[in-house]
Amino acid sequence: MRAGAHMHPLQPAGAPGGGSGAPGHSLGRRGRGHGCSGPSLAKPVSGLGAGTGGEGRARRGAVHPPGEFRGPSCAAVALRSLLAADLRFSRQLGVCAGERSAWGSARPLLRLLEVSGHGVPWLAGTLYGLGRSESPAGREVLLNLLFALLLDLVLVAVVKGLVRRRRPTHNKMDMFVTISVDKYSFPSGHATRAAMVCRFVLHHLVLAIPLRVLVVLWAIIVGISRVMLGRHNVTDVAFGFIMGYMQYNVVKYFWLSPLSAPALFAVWNQ
């Protein structure tokens, strides 16, 4: 790819598929070699979608008067350095990315964890619970969990579709049931779901302390395993955790109850 042309903010030039973790790839080199200008002089990193080529134009001198210095803004340099480090570090952590990887023998175990944080078992389990539940309180919690899981799917799909960061190149696309946006990696849907479900469970289930610790550990391990499996870069998972944590606030705000959604519960309780 021509440096700067059609660049993606999360997809540095010289890193096809975003997975080039080789030290010193073009993103890292360009970041180190430049000073940085203020935001008014620099062409900022373009929006969340695929790159617009704006940086390329700025560098070729096509859009600014001769003699005027245009360099990348400090924020752009910092972002590129962070992403370069992210790719490098994520590749190093992808020790279960294939059967022949350093920890390849642990891959089946991590794939089990993958299923434990997948949308299908969570949705199926919640629907099953709803069908079986005989207490109004239990139904209310499960209905809100269903809402939370669907909200998570929609929000993750929207962000993945906007950002369109490709999965690391060392990822084997052998994931259990995916939808079209799951070819993208930012944010990790497993991390958002794990963080959100973890908060949900801790708030709505009365559990002994060891079980509460287990729930938190599960969420953390699901997130880490995404990077170890080579499915994600570290920033996908970190952002996923933050996003999932905040999603629970949305669920709490719009909590469905016989008071807030009487029609829904009236139908249900008939």
Active site residue 64: no
Check 8, 34, 190, 204 and give the catalytic one.
Answer: 190
Active site residue 170: no
Tell which one of 226, 228, 239, 248 touches ligand LBIIBCTY (CB under 6 A): 226
Q: Is 126 in the site for ligand LBIIBCTY (CB under 6 A)?
A: no
Residue 73 DSSP SS3: strand
The minimum distance between CB 118 and ligand LBIIBCTY, in angstroms, equals: 5
Residue 171 DSSP SS3: coil
Tell which one of 190, 227, 244, 251 touches ligand LBIIBCTY (CB under 6 A): 190
The minimum distance between CB 120 and ligand LBIIBCTY, in angstroms, equals: 5
Task: Report angle CA 121, 122, 126 to the nearest 5 degrees.
Answer: 115
| Of the candidates 179, 173, 218, the residue with the CA atom closest to the CA atom of residue 195 | 218
Q: Is 177 in the site for ligand LBIIBCTY (CB under 6 A)?
A: yes
| Of the candidates 177, 180, 183, 170, the residue with the CA atom closest to the CA atom of residue 229 | 170
Angle between helices 189-204 and 119-132 (to 10 degrees): 30
Q: Is 179 in the site for ligand LBIIBCTY (CB under 6 A)?
A: yes
Q: CA torsion sign, 101 to 105 to 106 to 107?
A: positive
In the complex with ligand LBIIBCTY, which residue's Cβ is closer, 101 or 126? Answer: 126
| Of the candidates 205, 229, 10, the residue with the CA atom closest to the CA atom of residue 116 | 229
Residues of the shown chain interacting with ligand LBIIBCTY in the complex, contacts defined by CB under 6 A: 118-120, 123, 153, 175, 177-179, 182, 188-190, 226, 231
